[in-house]
Structure 1
Amino acid sequence: MPLKLKEPREGKSPNYTIRGTYLGIYVERTAGTPNKRLAQQALDRIKKQIERGEYQQSEDVEEKRPRTFAEATLAYLKAGGDRKYLNKIISDTSEHSLRDKLLTDIDQIAIDNAASAVYPAAPPTTLNRQFYTPVSAVLKHVGIEREVKRPKGWRGKKSTSWLDPEPAFAVIRNAYEIEPEFGAFCLTLLYTGMRLSDPLNAKVRDLRISQALLYVPDTKNGEPRPVHLPPIVIEALKALPPRVGRPRRTGKERLPDGAAGRSRASAGVPWLERPADEKLFRFNKGGKLYKMLNLAMAGAGVSFPRRQGAFHLFCHTYGTWMTHYGKLDTFGLVRTGRWKNAESADRYRHTIASPEARRADLLPTPAKKAGKISGKKAS
């Protein structure tokens, strides 16, 4: 029987099979892909290998390891990999799609072309987060350690905005005026550097007041983090009053507009004595929470560009203050647990002048005479 493709067998394998004899060599193996065009290319490669005397009979045994990117993705997901963003990559059927491409054929050019096909107008930061990072994770999971070069500009801008103490304190004061719990929430972010999701997802059980600790079991870095709570945060949490319940309508009497609403959990219960499985802070990420922050910042006279003035400003302020006042270097910041590596924490090194730059204070200066700088004219 001549060498040819066999259709995928339902319930057996989604891929084509290459079977038959060519130049006296019998072949029976998977094509590694459900795509007929790619399967034919695999068959043609085997023919050329046989013609050159390079084909090994041991290759006839179908290996269990993935051969296409789709198979590699499935293996990655079965092993507990993050499926976020992968669906869009696998769903792409354009000319440069990675889905049915053999892993051996995936190089940097193939990855770049596929990225442009899936996200034709995305900025480098989005391309890196939503395409290059998940593709690299899939390849590494199946043992392909090839370096995947990221698009130019994928790190974004290195500029960092932060608050000086007085503006920061003014923002916190305004947050307390909006609502005491919101004030304590912002204060906690300021003095711990946590990402917004960490305190929002924290439970009462995660708070260890006696140890000045908030245990965050699942961070963006994928690792648990014991977060130290400075005395000012401990005092703020202890001072929080019980949540106020919402008024309810009684009889036919109407409540003023805005007075009614969803009853708050554990209203009237001392704030630190609430059930262990209740959320530590009552807020949810969304427009209402960001509006509260905008009001607090506006009341304090603080203004930043939209992408720099959200809750992450507290994180940058924490990193900067720990550098300025805590005297931590880049590796010291990493040791706090807030940043996973020195590369992430290094941006705060740029918020202070280096010791070498400060030696400019020693440079010679012209003499002052009668309050003015004097100097001889060059001859």
Structure 2
Amino acid sequence: MPNFYKRGDIWHYSFTIDGVRHRGSSKTAEKRVAEDIAAKHETRVRRAAVHGEEAVLTFTDAVGMYLDAGRDGRFLAPLLKKFGKRLVSAISGPEIRKAALEIYPGAAPATLNRQVVTPMRAVINHAADAKKAQKLSIKRFKEETKARRPAGSADWLKDFCKAAKKLDMPETAAIARFMFETAARVSEACRLTWDDVNLQLGVAFLTKTKTEPRKVFLTRAMVVDMANIRSMNPTLVFAAANRSTVKKRIDKVIEKAGLPRLTSHELGRHGFATEMIRRNGVDVATTGDHGGWKSRRLLIETYVEGDADREVIDRVFGKKERP
């Protein structure tokens, strides 16, 4: 039976189970309420000691553990309302799918997956990693396959660079090649300074990125393009302050050259992954390493850390240009 004592106006309690002392605050000055809270806590701990944590862990408990670990809680409010008092061990995959349809009637499969299936699985499996629940597999809702978006290619880049140089826009040719051959985001390319580049070694360092700083390898063509624009700006490699400037320059070259229109992401980061994986058969892990993908979502949910070698970049992007 719990023992009670006061700290200020608030009742605190303690009890011992299997030689382990447990303490808690009732957060109330009402003795009867405090007794009820303490009794429930003692019952829960005693049940866990006999039957294991799985027998007492509620979804609310699991969410608390998840948020305490600094995880994303954006979509958890309606899930807490639906499952809060339920034991995690009693929640099933089919029940979660049914709940998704009830919580978001008429929502697209992608929404149901993003706002119900994924967070439910993340919370429960986080508790499982802490040995307080069993792993749960939830069947995702089938999503419609999106039309494949256009991507940059070696041939497109060749025509683009040729047109840009004819227009006396060598810095635009250079930044397009840089994004395509390194998977750099346009914002990362804009921030690149000459202090971040070593043309002799053929490397550049992206120090301010969306994920983590990384080293990228420069092909011979990229080194030549950079050397030719070295005098255009003493600080910024591509003499572009922001993505808006780059977009205007790229759109101008595309229009003059009569090329298929591509965004900076399509010609750059998306083009890099397409060139590596689909057109040259480079494995996903190597592509993710060189392109700086941290999550597994875009590249078959794989990311490999390590100091990659430059051979694959020269093999894919350093080919001699066709005449």
What band does the TM-score fall into relative to the shorter chain? Answer: 0.5 to 0.7
Give CA deviations for 1:199-231 in whole Å, capped at 9, x if unaligned.
4676766544443233457877x6764322212
The amino acid that maps onto 1:236 is D
TM-score (norm 1): 0.50
1:104 matches 2:89: yes
Please name the residue that 1:28 is paired with. 42
Please name the residue that 2:16 is paired with. none
SS of structure 1 residue aligned to 2:299: helix
1:317 matches 2:275: no
* CA deviation after TM superposition for structure 1 residue 60, in Å: 9.6
CA change 1:334–1:299 in 2 (3 A) is same
Alignment of 1:71-86 (within 5 A): 71-81=61-71, 83=72, 86=73
Contact 2:109 2:143 (8 Å CA) reproduced = yes
Return the alpha-carbon distance in structure 1 between the equivalents of residues 149 and 54 of structure 2: 48
Contact 1:17 1:30 (8 Å CA) reproduced = no
* CA deviation after TM superposition for structure 1 residue 298, in Å: 3.3
CA change 1:78–1:116 in 2 (3 A) is same
1:186 matches 2:186: no
SS of structure 1 residue aligned to 2:43: strand
Give the number of the structure whose residues are more often helix, by fraction: 2
Return the alpha-carbon distance in structure 2 between the equivalents of residues 94 and 335 of structure 1: 35
* CA deviation after TM superposition for structure 1 residue 237, in Å: 2.8
Counterpart of 1:90 (choices 76, 85, 88) is 76
Return the alpha-carbon distance in structure 2 between the equivalents of residues 65 and 280 of structure 1: 62
1:301 matches 2:258: yes
CA RMSD of aligned residues (A): 5.0
Return the alpha-carbon distance in structure 2 between the equivalents of residues 93 and 172 of structure 1: 51
Return the alpha-carbon distance in structure 1 between the equivalents of residues 176 and 98 of structure 2: 43
Tell me which structure has the larger Cα radius of gyration. Answer: 1
SS of structure 2 residue aligned to 1:92: helix
CA change 1:292–1:342 in 2 (3 A) is same
Please name the residue that 1:152 is paired with. 142
User: Please, which runs of 5 or more residues in structure 1 have no aligned partner?
Assistant: 2-7, 21-26, 32-54, 244-267, 273-278, 347-379
* CA deviation after TM superposition for structure 1 residue 190, in Å: 1.2
The amino acid that maps onto 1:169 is K
Contact 1:303 1:309 (8 Å CA) reproduced = no
Please name the residue that 1:377 is paired with. none
Contact 1:171 1:299 (8 Å CA) reproduced = no
Amino-acid identity (%): 21
CA change 1:293–1:65 in 2 (3 A) is farther
Higher relative contact order structure (alpha carbons within 8 Å, sequence separation ≥ 6): 2
1:235 matches 2:224: yes
* CA deviation after TM superposition for structure 1 residue 242, in Å: 5.8
Return the alpha-carbon distance in structure 2 between the equivalents of residues 223 and 74 of structure 1: 28
Contact 2:284 2:299 (8 Å CA) reproduced = no
Please name the residue that 1:282 is paired with. 241
Counterpart of 1:58 (choices 46, 49, 54) is 49
The amino acid that maps onto 1:58 is A
Contact 1:207 1:213 (8 Å CA) reproduced = yes
Please name the residue that 1:344 is paired with. 299
* CA deviation after TM superposition for structure 1 residue 328, in Å: 4.1
Alignment of 1:159-308 (within 5 A): 159=148, 161-172=150-161, 177=167, 181-196=171-186, 199=189, 206-216=196-206, 225-240=214-229, 269-271=234-236, 282-284=241-243, 290=247, 293-303=250-260
SS of structure 1 residue aligned to 2:176: helix
Contact 2:121 2:138 (8 Å CA) reproduced = yes
The amino acid that maps onto 1:28 is E
CA change 1:230–1:73 in 2 (3 A) is farther
The amino acid that maps onto 2:272 is Y
TM-score (norm 2): 0.57
The amino acid that maps onto 1:138 is V
Contact 2:79 2:116 (8 Å CA) reproduced = no
Give CA deviations for 1:283-307 in whole Å, capped at 9, x if unaligned.
24xx775555444433332336xxx
Return the alpha-carbon distance in structure 2 between the equivalents of residues 330 and 322 of structure 1: 8
User: Please, which runs of 5 or more residues in structure 2 have no aligned partner?
Assistant: 2-24, 30-35, 129-133, 302-323
Contact 1:193 1:315 (8 Å CA) reproduced = yes
SS of structure 2 residue aligned to 1:232: helix
* CA deviation after TM superposition for structure 1 residue 188, in Å: 0.9
Contact 2:113 2:141 (8 Å CA) reproduced = yes
* CA deviation after TM superposition for structure 1 residue 152, in Å: 0.8
The amino acid that maps onto 1:298 is E
Return the alpha-carbon distance in structure 1 between the equivalents of residues 183 and 214 of structure 2: 12
Give CA deviations for 1:207-260 in whole Å, capped at 9, x if unaligned.
44443233457877x6764322212222333333566xxxxxxxxxxxxxxxxx
Please name the residue that 1:141 is paired with. 126
